[in-house]
């Protein structure tokens, strides 16, 4: 969608290398924000990807589900990413169109036979995941036991409080069964490996260490030399109520644990970050439609059916936010808590926590949310006729820095 312009000469930036705007403040000052606007910084995305490529002691696969935007895939390919964690054949199609030589890891533990066949025959996928015998049988019956096909056995540990989303409630098997599944996968002709996920937005590097120790126990119990270990995603981004240590702390914890557990027979490592790579590259400009001062209610042109869904799932994932007026941050000493509603005719379309905003906030003011590159657009709907969003390219995205 091409945005309406307040000033002639400003164009919609359609390609990652087109920097029509210096930053999101410039966008807010020059564009009509009647519909929400995503500000995308290819530079921030590249920088974050490079932090993983240069800092993680293994192979970096991007988890496409976090943000499947073609521009994101293109920039990551340019940054050197060639492996992608995909959860559906639609994601395979997106990656395959933009990077035909990409390696695909189909790590969704539950797949239909037609999806397996499409992945195998249509996209050359040679990596599948499973957490039970039935899934291994399904894959074996669909693709056979061709040499070189890898089977990632997904295991889980008891849930913990360090993650925003607990993946163990849906996927993964216990240690004892994981060892049996490794042996069974090998008997079926697959090359077995192990994979885990400590949970989305995991703020404790020690969670990876605990899983790596479990991987060592599983491999020893199975009597199989573990050649590859996928340490999952879960690496955090920064939110107003949730952040973790620097990425280097995670990389160090992983490397130290692998050395301690496996010694000189350490497996090749893989990780599959999604949120941590994509989130910092986008901010969301929303416009105030109405302020009811007597009830301290405020209505925006976006909400939980758009780019702000995750806030309703986990309050800790509330993005950093600021108010812009005429392109400049509003510095107000007098602030009030406002209940913030989205634009739909649905009472559920409301943020679960109030926003602390300038008391004089008014119609046409902009509330900008930082770090919405992960799941902000991937889970958006078009409910009630809303959901249309423009995307422009900026050199710098707002990340929550008060000087940004």
Q: What is the pLDDT of residue 279?
A: 94
Give the global pTM. 0.91
Predicted confidence at residue 321, as pLDDT, reads 96
Q: Which of 35-44, 101-110, 371-380 has the lowest mean pLDDT?
A: 371-380
For residues 31 and 90, membership in a common domain is answered with no
Range of the domain at 193: 43-278
pLDDT digits (tens, 9 = 90+) for 95-150: 999 999 999 999 999 999 999 999 999 999 999 999 999 999 999 999 986 668 99
Confidence of residue 165 (pLDDT cuts 50, 70, 90): low
Average pLDDT, the chain: 90
Domain of residue 296, CATH code: 2.40.37.10
pLDDT band of residue 314 (cuts 50, 70, 90) is: confident
pLDDT of residue 241: 73
> Are residue 148 and residue 225 in the same domain, yes or no?
yes
Query: Is 373 within a domain?
Result: yes
Position 236 in a domain: yes
Confidence of residue 158 (pLDDT cuts 50, 70, 90): confident
Note the pLDDT of residue 376. Answer: 87
* Residues 45 and 36 sit within 8 Å (Cβ to Cβ): no
Indicate if the pLDDT at residue 356 is higher than 60. yes
Q: What is the mean pLDDT of residues 392-402?
A: 88
Percent of the chain with pLDDT over 70: 91
**Residue 374 confidence (pLDDT) above 80:** yes
What is the per-residue pLDDT across 170-212, written as a single tens digit (0 to 9) for each? 788 999 999 999 999 999 999 999 999 988 788 899 999 999 9
pLDDT at 351: 96
Residue 243's pLDDT band (cuts 50, 70, 90): confident
Residues 173, 28, single domain; the answer is: no
My answer on whether 249 and 271 are in the same domain is: yes
Q: Are residues 47 and 90 in the same domain?
A: yes
**What is the distance between the alpha carbons of residues 7 and 11, in angstroms, rounded to a whole number?**
10
**Among residues 256, 278, 300, which one ends one of the domains?**
278
Confidence band, pLDDT 50/70/90 cuts, at residue 12: very low
pLDDT digits (tens, 9 = 90+) for 206-232: 999 999 999 999 999 999 999 999 999
Secondary structure of the chain in HEC code, one letter for each residue: CCCCECCCCCCCCCCCCCCCEEEHHHHHHHECCCCCEEEECHHHHHHHHHHHHHHCCCEEEEEHHHCCCHHHHHHHHHHCCCEEEECCHHHHHHHHHHCCCCEEEECCCCCCHHHHHHHHHHHCCCEEEECCHHHHHHHHHHHCCCCCCEEEEEECCCCCCCCCECHHHCCCECHHHHHHHHHHHHHCCCEEEEECCCCECCCCCHHHHHHHHHHHHHHHHHCCCCCEEECCCCCCCCECCECCCCHHHHHHHHHHHHHHHHHHHCCEEEECCCHHHHHHHEEEEEEEEEEECCCCEEEECCCCCCCCHHHHHCHHHCCCEEEEECCEECCCCCEEEEEEECCCCCCCCECCCCEEEECCCCCCCEEEEECCCCCCCCCCCCHHHCCCCEEEEEEECCCCCCCC
């Amino acid at each position: 969608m091409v945005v309406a312009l307040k000033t002639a000469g400003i164009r919609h930036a359609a390609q990652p290398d087109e920097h029509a705007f210096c930053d999101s403040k410039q966008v807010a000052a020059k564009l009509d924000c009647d519909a929400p606007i995503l500000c995308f910084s290819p530079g921030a995305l590249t920088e974050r990807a490079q932090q993983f490529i240069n800092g993680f002691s293994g192979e970096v696969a991007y988890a496409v589900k976090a943000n499947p935007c073609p521009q994101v895939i293109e920039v990551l390919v340019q940054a050197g990413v060639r492996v992608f964690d995909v959860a559906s054949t639609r994601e395979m199609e997106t990656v395959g169109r933009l990077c035909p030589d990409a390696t695909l890891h189909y790590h969704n533990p539950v797949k239909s036979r037609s999806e397996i066949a499409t992945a195998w025959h249509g996209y050359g996928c040679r990596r599948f995941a499973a957490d039970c015998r039935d899934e291994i049988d399904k894959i074996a019956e669909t693709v056979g036991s061709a040499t070189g096909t890898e089977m990632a056995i997904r295991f889980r540990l008891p849930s913990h409080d360090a993650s925003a989303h607990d993946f163990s409630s849906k996927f993964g098997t216990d240690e004892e069964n994981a060892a049996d599944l490794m042996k069974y996968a090998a008997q079926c002709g697959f090359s077995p490996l192990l994979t885990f996920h400590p949970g989305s937005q995991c703020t404790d590097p020690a969670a990876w260490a605990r899983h790596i120790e479990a991987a060592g126990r599983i491999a020893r119990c199975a009597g199989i030399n573990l050649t590859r270990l996928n340490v999952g995603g879960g690496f955090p981004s920064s939110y107003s109520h949730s952040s973790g240590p620097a990425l280097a702390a995670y990389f160090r914890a992983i490397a130290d644990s692998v050395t301690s557990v496996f010694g000189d027979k350490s497996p090749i490592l893989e990780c599959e970050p999604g949120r941590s790579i994509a989130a910092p590259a986008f901010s969301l400009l929303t416009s105030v439609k109405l302020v009811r001062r007597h009830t301290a209610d405020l209505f925006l042109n976006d909400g939980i059916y758009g780019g702000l869904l995750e806030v309703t799932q986990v309050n800790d994932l509330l993005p950093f936010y600021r108010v812009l007026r005429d392109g400049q941050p509003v510095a107000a000493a007098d602030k009030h808590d406002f209940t913030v509603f989205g634009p739909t005719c649905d009472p559920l379309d409301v943020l679960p926590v109030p926003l602390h905003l300038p008391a004089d906030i008014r119609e046409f003011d902009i509330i900008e949310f930082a770090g919405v590159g992960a799941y902000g657009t991937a889970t958006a709907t078009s409910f009630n006729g809303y959901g249309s969003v423009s995307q422009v390219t900026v050199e710098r995205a707002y990340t929550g820095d008060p000087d940004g």
